[in-house]
Amino acid sequence: MPQLTVDGKTYALGDKESVLNCLTRHNISIPHSCGSGICQSCVVRAVEGKPTPASQKSLKPSQRERGVFLACSCVPEEDLHIQLGDEASRTFSTTVLSLKKLSQDVMRLRLNCPSDFKYRAGQYINLHHPVAGTRCYSLASVHGLDPHLELHIKLVPQGLVSSWVHNELAVGNTITISEPLGDCHYNPDKPDAPMLLIATGCGLAPLYGIIRDALHNQHRGEISLYHSSRSKTGIYLYQDCEGLQAKHENFRYIPSVSEDEKIPDGLHAGRSSDLALQQHRALKDYQVYLCGEPEMVNTTKRKAFLAGASMSAIHSDPFVYFSPTN
């Protein structure tokens, strides 16, 4: 079995044991959250030995070159000498600019955008809670268009971080965020491609940012946004999306509710994914964006692919939105 050296001490790795599990087993605590290679909280650096390709796959080339890898995704094939607390994971300190309820359970959190924070709308960040760890949230704001960063945070029953944002955080508070992550964002190289964006619940946040980014970049192809919620109280940013539709000829907004018995004026009946795929049957050359409940995302990914969308043109957030299951 390969061995792991940290701070001058050497530990034997167990069979198929990840670096993170080995560290935890020896009471060496490092930040971590998702345990599945997504949140990038557990970055460490190899100073000797080669980390596995899987543990570096989602990192930037510059990080890979420096030996940075994800401890949770690395089951070493050779001896590794690692360094903790590396500058690998860049964090930013920022302040709360405003907090505004967009619906019963969605809070819009605006943060000061640090001067060297470069991102694309639709990417996500880790928000650090002083005790509970980190959670991923998508950026709904647009770099170059909005002076602030914007997140939409859904109140989750028993959710430590979301209830902290909803009930305790105040304007002027200082908080820590990660650098922007992920590649679910607008692609400026395809200005004529039709874009199909499908969201449930708070999955609207990244898509709202991506759409404004696309329109800001004078996207020429048709842009269709389908957003659904179980009931009409979950349809937030309605006025804003209607406003965008009135202003831009190539943008269509189709909000819907899936469980209300009476369908309110201006809304459609059904799930966003069903309506979208009924109205767009051939998806060759489309850019498809899927955000929201994992079940919807996974099912729709497959259907969109079978309807002709290329795998590389289907974008979705890798993390799970925390949403009540009932």
Partner 1 sequence: MSDTLYDKLGGEAAVDAAVDIFYRKVLSDDRINRFFEGVDMDNQAAKQKAFLTLAFGGPNSYSGKDMREGHAKLVKEQGLNDEHFDAVVENLGATLQELNVPAELIQEAAAIAETTRADVLGR
Residues near partner 1 (CB under 8 A) are 298, 301-302, 305-306, 310-311
Is the CB of 131 or the CB of 311 nearer to partner 1?
Answer: 311
Closest among 212, 294, 288 to 248, alpha carbons compared = 212
**Nearest distance from C-beta of residue 224 to partner 1, angstroms:** 22
Is the CB of 183 or the CB of 240 nearer to partner 1?
Answer: 183
Contact 325, 295 (CB under 8 A): no
**Percent of residues in the chain assigned helix, strand, coil, to nearest 5:** 25, 30, 45
3-state secondary structure of 159: coil
**Nearest distance from C-beta of residue 305 to partner 1, angstroms:** 7
Token output for 318: 């890798």
Neighbours of 115 (CB within 10 A): 7
Is the CB of 171 or the CB of 306 nearer to partner 1?
Answer: 306
**Nearest distance from C-beta of residue 197 to partner 1, angstroms:** 18
Is the CB of 55 or the CB of 256 nearer to partner 1?
Answer: 55
Strands (E), 61-112: 68-70, 80-83, 91-101, 106-112
**Nearest distance from C-beta of residue 301 to partner 1, angstroms:** 5
**Nearest distance from C-beta of residue 310 to partner 1, angstroms:** 5
Task: Write the CA distances from 265 to 251, 269, 302, integer angstroms.
Answer: 20, 11, 32
**Nearest distance from C-beta of residue 297 to partner 1, angstroms:** 10
Closest among 4, 30, 1, 25 to 15, alpha carbons compared = 1
Is the CB of 263 or the CB of 306 nearer to partner 1?
Answer: 306
How far, in Å, CA of 90 to CA of 72, rounded? Answer: 18
**Nearest distance from C-beta of residue 183 to partner 1, angstroms:** 11
Is the CB of 31 or the CB of 37 nearer to partner 1?
Answer: 37
How far, in Å, CA of 180 to CA of 137, rounded? Answer: 10
C-alpha angle 116-118-121 in degrees, rounded to nearest 5 = 145
Q: What are phi and psi of 78, to 5 degrees?
A: -145, 170
Closest among 120, 94, 103 to 188, alpha carbons compared = 120
Find the helix or strand (DSSP H, E) in which 225 lies.
strand 223-229
**Nearest distance from C-beta of residue 137 to partner 1, angstroms:** 21
Is the CB of 53 or the CB of 191 nearer to partner 1?
Answer: 53
How far, in Å, CA of 87 to CA of 292, rounded? Answer: 32
Is the CB of 108 or the CB of 301 nearer to partner 1?
Answer: 301
